[in-house]
């Protein structure tokens, strides 16, 4: 089946993807293999990034305007000496302290930018619910902001987190939540794990990870991760993810490192983390790896919850503001509710 023919699919998801032909099976392998030279993978990554950029720009062009939000950009120095842009959005009428979401955008840690229209819209939508939002422009392993393999992007996310914590008073926030989707879902979890390793876990009050891309070994269809088979080709193909993953860690030295691929985290690794929500999409190839991480959290005694956005493919609760806004705003409200509960 495809997203268009699967009886579980939300009609709004088909309306989003049909104009681009993306509601049909996408099972053709990428033009590069897992074993292709890194130069070939990087060239393909640039092409894929441009394609996704065009898609999301077209989608956002149909979204309703977000009102009552003001935004600015600050530039800081990262731990590696590089400049990092932080995109800060807040409600225009904010009074007193409110929660802050530290946002790590998607793109498999290899592509896309925080200033892409889709992520700008998402941050402003989050801010419109009554929160401050800080989006970090981290270095990618490929694309326009690459090539900077692991741990460059994670280092940038951690540097931005430190700045956000140090500027708590001037930003005017009460609690700090790390949140991201897909590759950003990976980085939200990895940043929390790194904060634990660095003895700075007290800086984080919660983590809200959406459709986390955290398994890494996508050339092997792990039997316990049935969504890799069940939903393969539903907007995302597993072969594509298998070709992208080595760009993040070209030498494969971090295949089992939970800071690179949090799926590998043990109960000991996650013990002591603040409250975590894992949000997955029912028709997403990476659905089950997120739920597996949730089970690790539960076994370790971490206050953790999980939710499934039914009828949707990968991160589609960020893409349906014009065809099924109730789905998108349900996720936004859940993030706001999670932040307010801490």
DSSP string, 91-147: ETT--S-EEEEEEE--STTTS--TTSHHHHHHHHHHHHTT-EEEEE-PPPSSGGG--
- pTM comes to 0.97
- The CA distance from 20 to 59, in Å, is 10
For residue 18, tell me if it sits in a domain.
no
Q: Say how many C-beta atoms besides its own lie within 10 A of residue 102's C-beta.
A: 27
For residue 279, tell me if it sits in a domain.
yes
* pLDDT reported for residue 30: 87
Q: Is the bond into 173 cis (omega within 30 degrees of 0)?
A: no
- The CA distance from 109 to 182, in Å, is 9
For residue 12, tell me if it sits in a domain.
no
For residue 64, tell me if it sits in a domain.
yes
Residue 196, judged by CB atoms within 10 A of its CB (0-12, 13-18, 19+), counts as middle
* pLDDT reported for residue 23: 78
CATH number for 220: 3.40.50.1820
* pLDDT reported for residue 27: 60
For residue 42, tell me if it sits in a domain.
yes
Joined together, the tokens standing for residue 321 give: 């503001």
For residue 7, tell me if it sits in a domain.
no
Number of structural domains in the chain: 1
Counting as low any pLDDT under 70, the low residues of the chain are: 26-27
* pLDDT reported for residue 33: 87
- The CA distance from 60 to 37, in Å, is 35
Q: Which residues pair with 178 in a beta bridge?
A: 102, 207
For residue 301, tell me if it sits in a domain.
yes
For residue 83, tell me if it sits in a domain.
yes
Which domain range does residue 135 map to? Answer: 26-341
> Pairing between strand 173-181 and 206-210?
parallel
């Amino acid at each position: 089946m495809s997203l268009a023919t699967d009886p579980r699919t939300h009609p709004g998801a088909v309306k989003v993807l049909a104009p681009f032909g993306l509601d049909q099976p996408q099972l053709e392998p990428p033009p590069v293999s897992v074993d292709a030279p890194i130069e070939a993978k990087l060239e393909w990554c640039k092409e894929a990034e441009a394609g996704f950029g065009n898609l999301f720009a077209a989608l956002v062009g149909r979204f309703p305007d977000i009102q009552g939000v003001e935004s600015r950009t600050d530039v800081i120095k990262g731990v590696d000496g590089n400049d990092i842009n932080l995109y800060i959005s807040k409600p225009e009428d904010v009074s007193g302290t409110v929660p802050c979401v530290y946002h790590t955008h998607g793109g498999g840690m290899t592509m896309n930018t925080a200033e892409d229209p889709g992520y700008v819209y998402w941050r402003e939508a989050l801010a419109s619910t009554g929160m401050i939002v800080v989006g970090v422009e981290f270095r990618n392993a490929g694309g326009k902001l690459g090539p900077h393999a692991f741990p460059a992007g994670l280092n940038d996310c951690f540097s931005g987190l430190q700045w956000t914590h140090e500027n708590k008073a001037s930003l005017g926030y009460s609690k700090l939540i790390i949140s991201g989707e897909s590759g950003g879902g990976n980085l939200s979890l990895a940043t929390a794990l790194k904060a634990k390793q660095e003895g700075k876990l007290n800086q984080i009050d919660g983590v809200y990870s959406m459709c986390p891309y955290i398994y890494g070994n996508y050339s092997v269809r792990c039997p316990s991760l049935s969504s890799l088979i069940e939903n393969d080709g539903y907007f995302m193909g597993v072969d594509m993810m298998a070709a992208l993953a080595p760009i993040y860690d070209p030498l494969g030295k971090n295949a089992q490192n939970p800071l690179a691929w949090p799926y590998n985290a043990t109960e000991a690794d996650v013990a002591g983390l603040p409250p975590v929500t894992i949000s997955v999409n029912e028709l997403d190839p990476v659905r089950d790896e997120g739920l597996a991480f949730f089970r690790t959290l539960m076994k370790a005694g971490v206050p953790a919850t999980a939710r499934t956005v039914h009828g949707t493919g990968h991160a589609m609760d960020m893409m349906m503001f014009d065809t099924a806004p109730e789905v998108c705003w349900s996720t936004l409200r859940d993030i706001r509710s999670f932040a307010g509960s801490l």
